[in-house]
């Protein structure tokens, strides 16, 4: 069977070591901090601690997706080496990067007609995207062809569930996701919004939970509700967090207690700079395999 490259955007928010260990290549988004541009390179150029501290102190952030020329430059060496490519993009409900990747694919397949580039809209983000990539790496290692892996990704991506909450509404107000009035009242009343990613890959507010303690327990309840096997779940669970590791650890401990058959311990990652530029510090997200997202 012909070897192929398994690839994604850096917004899958796994560590560089994790990507290397699993044999997953990645292309980097860009972000700006106070007008200075950096690669979203998984914390290499700037530590996540520095990035979130700067945001908390009022730094201005801006993000930009990978453009067509960058995708061509990224993909072409793999094709020159004789490899096909399966690349998954950050959700189209969040970013237009899928369009750039598709245009690059069409351009390169004219130049390399004997090779294929498969582009998939992950309909996922952050370490949920990462959990999907980890499963695809498992299937690749078991011998699945690139054509079959492409189809599996398309057929199963909506089984990847995302639930997350924020304890700081500042950047949700700044990004226009909630009004200034709602944000002010929410912060005064210690309201923590609970959101998820819907079947279109969009971020949707679902509940307003009062107090951090309650939302931490509610997100674990949501996990149980969305898993077909309930407390017998034996898959993996990933968490990503933005400068609030202690909160993420509390959630992870509750998950490991409630789901004793998990595949390993809950893996806690950092929310990367592209996603984090919009959430700001104080966000915890939980990702797991469950019922298909239908709304």
Give tens-digit pLDDT for 223-265: 999 999 999 999 999 999 999 999 999 999 999 999 999 999 9
Q: What is the pTM of this model?
A: 0.94
Measured at the CA of 248, the angle between CA 48 and CA 223, to 5 degrees, comes to: 130
Name the pLDDT band for 2 (thresholds 50, 70, 90).
Answer: confident
pLDDT tens readout for residues 11-46 = 999 999 999 999 999 999 999 999 999 999 999 999
Gap between the Cα atoms of 191 and 212, Å rounded? 8
Q: What angle do CA 214, 131, 47 make, to 5 degrees?
A: 80
C-alpha distances out from residue 143 to 89, 137, 170, 199, Å: 23, 10, 47, 29
pLDDT digits (tens, 9 = 90+) for 164-192: 999 877 776 666 666 665 555 566 557 89
Predicted local distance difference test score (pLDDT) of residue 169: 72
Integer Cα distance of 106 and 138 in angstroms = 28
- pLDDT tens per residue, range 73-130: 999 999 999 999 999 999 999 999 999 999 999 999 999 999 999 999 999 999 999 9
Residue 75: both structure tokens together: 């993909």
SS (H, E, C) the chain: CCCEEEEEEHHHCCCHHHHHHHCCEEECCEEEECCEEEECCCCCCCCHHHHHHHHHCCCCEEEECCCHHHHHHHHHHHHHCCCEEEEEECCCCCCCHHHHHHHHHHHHHHHCCCCCEEEEECCCCHHHHHHHHHHHHHHHHCCCCHHHHHHHHHHHHHHEEEEEEECCCHHHHHCCCCCHHHHHHHHHCCEEEEEEECCCCCEEEEEEEECHHHHHHHHHHHHHHHCCCHHHCCCCEEEEECCCHHHHHHHHHHHHHHCCCCCCCCEEEECCHHHHHHHCCCEEEEEEECCCCCC
């Amino acid at each position: 069977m012909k070897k192929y490259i398994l690839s994604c955007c850096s917004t899958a928010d796994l560590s560089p070591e994790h990507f290397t260990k699993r044999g997953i290549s990645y292309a980097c988004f860009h972000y700006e901090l106070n007008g200075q541009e950096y690669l979203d390179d998984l914390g290499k150029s700037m530590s996540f601690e520095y990035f979130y501290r700067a945001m908390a102190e009022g730094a201005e952030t801006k993000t930009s997706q990978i453009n067509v020329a960058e995708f061509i430059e990224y993909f072409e060496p793999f094709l020159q080496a004789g490899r096909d490519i399966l690349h998954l993009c950050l959700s189209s409900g969040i970013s237009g990067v899928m369009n750039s990747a598709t245009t690059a694919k069409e351009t390169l397949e004219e130049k390399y007609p004997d090779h294929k580039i498969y582009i998939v809209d992950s309909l996922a983000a952050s370490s949920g995207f990462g959990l999907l990539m980890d499963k695809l790496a498992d299937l690749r290692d078991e011998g699945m062809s690139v054509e079959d892996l492409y189809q599996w990704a398309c057929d199963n991506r909506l089984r990847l569930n995302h639930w997350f909450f924020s304890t700081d509404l500042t950047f949700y107000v700044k990004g226009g996701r909630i009004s200034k009035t709602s944000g002010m009242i929410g912060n005064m009343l210690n309201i923590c919004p609970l959101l998820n990613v819907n079947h279109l890959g969009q971020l949707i507010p679902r509940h307003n939970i009062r107090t951090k303690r309650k939302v931490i327990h509610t997100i674990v309840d949501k996990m149980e509700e969305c898993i077909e096997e309930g407390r017998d779940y034996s898959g993996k669970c990933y968490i990503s967090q933005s400068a609030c590791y202690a909160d993420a650890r509390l959630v992870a401990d509750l998950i490991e207690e409630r789901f004793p058959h998990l595949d390993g311990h809950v893996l806690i990652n950092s929310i990367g700079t592209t996603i984090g530029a919009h959430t700001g510090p104080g966000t915890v997200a939980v990702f797991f395999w469950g019922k298909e997202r239908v709304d």
